[in-house]
Chain A
């Protein structure tokens, strides 16, 4: 599958305010251009961690009918588990917007959700999210592109992305619930 138009949407108050430098978007742009040298790849200005804002933004972007929208960050349990952590609304925003999707939730053994990865398609556009930590974003997107190039379906690509993120946690084994 060839991608000609890709939008990258970083999320997070800390990214928006410049407290944290967005190093994920350049990595995803780089990988995208390596895979699809002819593509137009656009990094959208970061959105705040507000579910409705994220939903509105992806609706707006989808009107331009890109081949792919990549949302970055906000993929964990975040504020649901710790008051000091950021608000994680990317996955819930995607679930609200997408009629059909596949997802993997990675839980720590303490019962907290560490990451939820979603993939779905609406119209001509594939939607995915990647976690905010750089190594996880990089690895998840590599797995996405590899799966796409191998002709995997969306469910299989989602699984490959989850496995890629899971493999970065040291000394663990996966168990389906």
Chain B
């Protein structure tokens, strides 16, 4: 058994759109629609019956927030999504770097987050 570790040095923010009715969502289509609108890469990372969570790469979160209406309109074009009166968008800040110099060679815990925080 051999495990290799790789670090992806990508800037991203998490974008969540809630208050939706979702059934039969084509995630590739929604990624394409939003990528075209924001001109950057988008990846759907979580979907429930009423919300979508996405990673958005290399874009200022404030820029995303300013275009809330446009982004929600873009989302509404995807198959399997209906907007409701409760539809809203929340965009978090960019991810924060951790210090790679202090990472141990071997995992100390089964929980990766705990492992990084400990050191």
Q: Which residues of A contact B (CB under 8 A)?
A: 14, 17-21, 23, 76-78, 80-82, 84-86, 100-114, 133-136, 155, 159, 162, 166, 168-177
> Would A111 and B8 be within 8 Å (CB), given that A14-B48, A171-B57, A177-B105 are in contact?
no
> Which A-B residue pairs are the 9 nearest by beta carbons?
A111-B116, A177-B5, A110-B95, A134-B28, A111-B98, A172-B9, A169-B10, A85-B46, A172-B10
Q: Which of A78, A81, A109 contacts B7 (CB 8 A)?
A: A109
Residues of chain B within 8 A of A17, CB atoms compared:
49
Q: Give the size category of B's interface with A.
A: 35 or more
For residue B14, give the distance in angstroms from its CB to the closest CB of chain A.
Answer: 8
Q: Which of A21, A159, A173, A175 contacts B100 (CB 8 A)?
A: A175
Which B residues, 65 to 119, have Cβ-Cβ distances below 8 Å to chain A? 79-80, 95-98, 100, 103, 105, 111-113, 116-117
Q: Which of A19, A80, A100, A112 contacts B47 (CB 8 A)?
A: A19
Binding site secondary structure of chain B? mixed
Of all chain B residues, the one with the shortest Cβ separation from A14 is B47
CA distance in complex: A159, B10 (Å): 19
Q: Which of B9, B97, B100, B113 contacts A77 (CB 8 A)?
A: B113
Q: Is the CB of A20 within 8 A of B27?
A: yes
Q: List 20 A-B contacts (CB under 8 A).
A: A19-B47, A20-B22, A20-B47, A23-B28, A78-B46, A80-B111, A82-B46, A84-B53, A85-B46, A86-B46, A107-B6, A107-B7, A112-B112, A133-B27, A133-B31, A135-B28, A162-B4, A169-B41, A175-B6, A176-B5
Residues of chain A within 8 A of B9, CB atoms compared:
109, 171-173, 175
**Sample of 13 more A-B contacts, CB < 8 Å, known A105-B6, A168-B41:** A19-B22, A20-B80, A21-B26, A76-B45, A84-B48, A84-B51, A111-B116, A134-B31, A135-B43, A170-B57, A171-B11, A176-B5, A177-B7
